[in-house]
Amino acid sequence: MRPPLDLSLYLVTDTRLCGDRGVAPTVAAAVKGGVTAVQLRDPDADDRTLFSLGRAIQAELAGTGVPLIVNDRLDVAARLDADGVHLGQRDLSPDTARRRLGPRAYIGLSISRPGQLAHVPDSVDHLGVGPVFAQSTKPDADAPLGLDGMARIVRESPLPCVAIGGIGPSRAAAVMGRGAAGIAVVSAICGRPDPRAAAHSLVRTLRQEISA
């Protein structure tokens, strides 16, 4: 049996924001700071480049127990033998991903409106809910849900939900207080001079909320 996916601090990579440090070293530092899952996302990269980047990240994650999830690119996820794939509403079917990757893969699906819950197939393990707040890393994202909109989806969802979109240390506690299983972050780690310290700060906030 595969272990449950720990969604508490889910890092989504951004090649541009990682800058000269690079994506794989940023991931390595962030995991030392407490990141529990990593999603490889670079919509501008071709498959070969994304595969190479995935291999570099896998080398950094080896022995940590932190899974690598690939955003959207099922072929790359399969070639990497990644731990799973995350899909958007306009990507391929989660059922197709399940058939390709097998029963042990983690399959996530983005949700931006409560009405989309009715169409989530059984092949999905968890939901990415957002954007919760205004953000700048995904220009084509839907309008922000706000805390109330996110909380409604979390309440009505039969699956664990990780919240994404404009979440940093100042907002993490409020998001977790509305029932999210975790937070997904991009610029809160990738855009920081010290990714390890940034991740640790988020973990500290999450632990304080859980123990409150």
Which tokens go with 170? 């100042």
Report the pLDDT value the prediction gives residue 4, as an integer from 0 to 100: 86
Tell me how far the alpha carbon of residue 29 is from its chain's centroid. 17
Report the pLDDT value the prediction gives residue 137, as an integer from 0 to 100: 64
Report the pLDDT value the prediction gives residue 45, as an integer from 0 to 100: 98
Closest CA to 108 of 77, 139, 80: 77
Which tokens go with 120? 């989530």
Domains and CATH numbers, the chain: 9-211 (3.20.20.70)
Report the pLDDT value the prediction gives residue 5, as an integer from 0 to 100: 94
Report the pLDDT value the prediction gives residue 139, as an integer from 0 to 100: 64
pTM here is: 0.95
Report the pLDDT value the prediction gives residue 75, as an integer from 0 to 100: 97
Ordered mean pLDDT values, 10 residues apiece, the chain (212 residues): 89 97 98 98 97 98 98 98 96 95 97 96 97 75 88 97 94 94 96 95 84 55
How many C-beta neighbours within 10 Å does residue 134 have? 11
